[in-house]
Structure 1
Amino acid sequence: MGLFSGLLNNYSEVSVQELTAQYGAYLMPQEKILMGFKLVRDSFMFTDERLILVDHQGVTGKKTRVASIHLNSIYEVTMETAGTGFDDSEVTIHYITSPYFKTNNVSTATYKFEFGKKFNVQPIYVALMTIAHQNNKRLNA
């Protein structure tokens, strides 16, 4: 089922040990992976500082794109649970991409994570929404 889910663009959870062994070189000093997920080749993981998105490109997957979304830039989170049929569960984060958060010209972006029907996305939503709420309070203080 894992490969089938991966082919349908659904993430499945991966152990912290496996992610650390494979992607530990991308961590900043003292940074720790808290949880992570994987498609067939691509992965994303939550650390105590950021989300790390790993995109293996090309036929062999040797070319790799690594991107980060800092947790302190997330300001909104939406969740959509799976319905009937082929619907998947989704969590979408909205985050600030400009280097200065308190400015008149803030740049933003969104990123959508898709999970299989049976995956419970509520804990991820609550964790990210808690971060977004704290960020909103800090940014609007």
Structure 2
Amino acid sequence: MSLFSGLFGNYTEVSPRELQQQYGAYLMPGETVQTGFRLVRDTFILTDKRLILFDHQGVTGKKTRVVSIDLDSIYDVTMETAGTGFDDSELTIHYITSPYYKANNLQTASYRFEFSKKFNIQPFYVALVSLAYENKQRING
């Protein structure tokens, strides 16, 4: 079932232990995997410091693009739950890409994740939106 879920663009949860074994070389010293999700070949990991996105490219998947989003740069999170039919749940994070968070020409980006309707994204949303709220208080305080 998870293969079909992946084929339709939905992430499935992967154990932190498995993620640590496979992607431990990409972690900073002292960084700890909290949770992670896989989409056929692509993976994203939530650590205690950042969100790491692994985009395996090409036929063999050996070429890999790694994107790191600092958790303290996330300022907004939106969630859309699945409806009836073939709808999926979506979670979108909005984050600051500028090196200085209080810059005059602040640059931002967003990233959207799709989950199967069977996956309860609400706890994940609450964790990220709580983090975003704390970040806004810190940045604007």
- What is the TM-score normalised by the length of structure 2? 0.99
Distance in 1 between residues matched to 2:111 and 2:39, nearest whole Å: 16
Structure 2 unaligned residues grouped into runs of 5+: none
User: Offset at 1:104?
Assistant: 1.2
- RMSD of aligned alpha carbons: 0.4
Structure 1 SS opposite 2:68: strand
Structure 1 SS opposite 2:99: coil
**For residues 19-69 of structure 1, what are the alpha-carbon distances to aligned partners after superposition, in whole Å with 9 as ceiling and x for unaligned?**
000000000000000000001100001000000000100000000111101
Corresponding position: 1:53 with 2:53: yes
1:64 is matched with 64
**1:1-141 equivalent positions in 2, closer than 5 A:** 1-141=1-141
User: Offset at 1:103?
Assistant: 1.3
Q: How many residues align structurally?
A: 141
Shift >6 Å, 4+ stretches: none
User: Offset at 1:85?
Assistant: 1.1
Structure 1 unaligned residues grouped into runs of 5+: none
Letter of the structure 2 residue corresponding to residue 103 of structure 1: A
Distance in 2 between residues matched to 1:47 and 1:117, nearest whole Å: 24
Percent identity, please: 70
Distance in 2 between residues matched to 1:62 and 1:139, nearest whole Å: 38
Structure 2 SS opposite 1:28: coil
User: Offset at 1:90?
Assistant: 0.5
**For residues 91-135 of structure 1, what are the alpha-carbon distances to aligned partners after superposition, in whole Å with 9 as ceiling and x for unaligned?**
100000010100111000000010001110000100000100000
Distance in 1 between residues matched to 2:103 and 2:22, nearest whole Å: 38
